[in-house]
Structure 1
Amino acid sequence: MDSSFTDRKVLVTGGASGIGLACARAFRAAGAQVVALDRASGPSDLDTVHADVAYEASLSGAVTTAVERLGGLDVVVGCAGISGPVGTPLVDTSAADLAAVLAVNVTGQLLLAKHTYPHLSTGGAIVFLASDSAFVATPGMAPYCASKGAVVALTRALAVELNRVRVNCVCPSVVDTPMARSDLGDAAIDQADFPVQTADDVARQVLFLAGPHSRPVNGHALLSDFGYSARSGFPA
């Protein structure tokens, strides 16, 4: 068993399901104490505090509760996110839908850093969940792509500003999660003609960026897409 996180204090947003839940369980398996924040109730084996990351009062109160339960913070993982409209052209996307995506995916990460940084131990780590959609795009997902591009930029900005901790992000390609299945359908995941990651795959990437083996890595966006973005359009 990986014991790199023995007795480390970890907070994970979006921890009730999907990648967030996989991260929470992976940290706990590595010896950490974990509290998850989520709008939904988590499984019975997970210590979950209700929070909506898009609203500062809700998030700040939940962070305070989590810090009290843990007795401090060493690692913060921002997994809370929404996809927003999928397959909807921008010209048919409402300002309200765009604002909702940015509120969770961007403002939520900013607020998370704002309210956890004062509690983080020196040498601690923040890891955000971004997406390969920060670098490549598919039609009908402009709000989501814009939000994940912002998370990459935010990662770099905070790596420079928050000098007591490291800040990195993970940018996975399609991951088999309840959100992805809701957006794309079960067949698109189960019969995909492209590689699909598991939530556990991504959790291992998060643990690497949060742990001692990545000590020199700061301000980095880890793009994990099976090499697809490296491919040339040249027909050869």
Structure 2
Amino acid sequence: MRLQLTGKKVLVTGGASGIGLACALAFLDEGADVAVIDRAQGPKGAFGVRADVTDDSQLSTAVTKAVGHLGGLDVVVGCAGISGPVGTPLVDTPADAIAAVLAVNVTGQLLLAKHTYPHMADGGAYVLLASDSAFVSAPGMVPYCASKGAVVSLTKALAVEFTRARVNCVCPSIVDTPMARADLGDAAIDEADFPVQTADEVAQQVLFLASARSRAINGQAVLADFGYSARSGFPA
């Protein structure tokens, strides 16, 4: 399928690693002009700006630099995110750890939307990274689940308010990324008894939602979990 992304002006946050890096590389491969905002250096071929997405002033300046380089915006992809303490009961989770997860995963997306929309072209597209954890949960993941649920609600709210652009989010299940391996361990990924996605697979979902091929899709959370959430927990 031709996604017609050649020459599109794309901004990706969290584009130095994991899903964000895969997205940046996939857009570059499609012939798009890509800028990356991250605290680390982005991939070769992309215009890189270092900034913390939770800092309003830093992010505003970074967006201005990226837009100045690109000459505008057609697509914005919000990939910056953290998992926080995994496997820690909420009652044992420090308040600053909870705040950090919400700051990056929720406030970071809000600020990204705030600072990029004035530069967004008519008919542009936002794709935010949420998670299947917005719909299902596991013990020790309360702050993360809450943050990703907020991204799903944010997606719908932005789709209503941002009339010049479509806004959707992707909600993958476990993805093989450096962050997932750090949280779960290599064995949990390599020897999993359930399917694990690659970052490249998620990037292809993002590209579709960013393209005109999905122009009728707006305000939606695309759940990509191999159908696991559709299964009843009751014995059949």
Give me the TM-score of the superposition, normalised by structure 2.
0.98
**8 Å CA contact 2:5, 2:30 repeated in 1:** yes
CA distance in structure 2 between the aligned counterparts of 1:89 and 1:44, rounded to whole angstroms: 40
The answer on whether the counterparts of 1:85 and 1:141 sit within 8 Å (CA) in structure 2 is yes
Query: In 2, distance between residues paired with 1:126 and 1:107?
Result: 16
Measured after TM superposition, the shift of residue 233 of structure 1 is 1.7
Provide the rounded CA distance (Å) in 1 between the counterparts of 2:45 and 2:117: 27
Distance in 2 of aligned mates of 1:196 and 1:118? 37
Corresponding residue of 1:213: 213
- Deviation at 1:3? 5.4
d(CA) in 1 for partners of 2:128 and 2:17?
16
Q: CA deviation at 1:81?
A: 0.1
C-alpha separation in 2, matches of 1:46 and 1:75: 14
Alignment of structure 1 residues 8-47 onto 2, 5 Å: 8-47=8-47
Matches within 5 A, 1:139-158: 139-158=139-158
1:227 aligns with 2:221: no
The 1:2/1:51 distance shift into structure 2, 3 A limit, reads farther
The residue type paired with residue 233 of structure 1 is G
Number of the residue aligned with 2:106 = 106
Shift in alpha-carbon separation, 1:213–1:3, aligned structure 2, 3 A: closer
Q: Are residues 1:48 and 2:52 paired?
A: no
Distance 1:195 1:224, change over 3 A: same
Unaligned runs of 5+ in 1: none
Q: Which residue number in structure 1 is paired with residue 78 of structure 2? A: 78
Distance 1:47 1:64, change over 3 A: same
- Structure 1: how far apart are the matches of 2:164 and 2:119? 11
Report SS of the residue matched to 1:166: strand
> Which structure 2 segments of 5+ residues have no match?
none
1:108-187 map, 5 Å: 108-187=108-187
Give the letter aligned to residue 190 of structure 1: D
Percent of aligned pairs sharing the same letter: 75
Alpha-carbon shift at residue 28 of structure 1 (Å):
1.0
| Contact 1:15/1:37 (<8 A) preserved | yes
The one-letter amino acid paired with 1:99 is A
Deviation of the 1:46 alpha carbon: 3.3
Structure 1 residue 40: deviation in Å? 1.0
Retained in 1: the 8 A contact 2:13–2:20? yes
Query: In 2, Cα distance between the equivalents of 1:196 and 1:4?
Result: 29
Distance 2:31 2:231 in 1: 39
1:15-60, CA deviations, whole angstroms, 9 ceiling, x for partnerless residues?
Answer: 0011001001111111100001101122444321101000101111
Q: Secondary structure at the match of 2:23?
A: helix
CA contact 1:72–1:120 (8 Å) conserved in 2: yes
- How many correspondences in the alignment? 236
Task: Indicate conservation of the 8 Å contact 1:2/1:30, yes or no.
Answer: no
Deviation digits for residues 65-98 of structure 1 (CA, Å, limit 9, x no counterpart):
0000000000000000000010000000111110
Distance 2:159 2:44 in 1: 35
Measure how far apart 1:215 and its partner are: 0.3
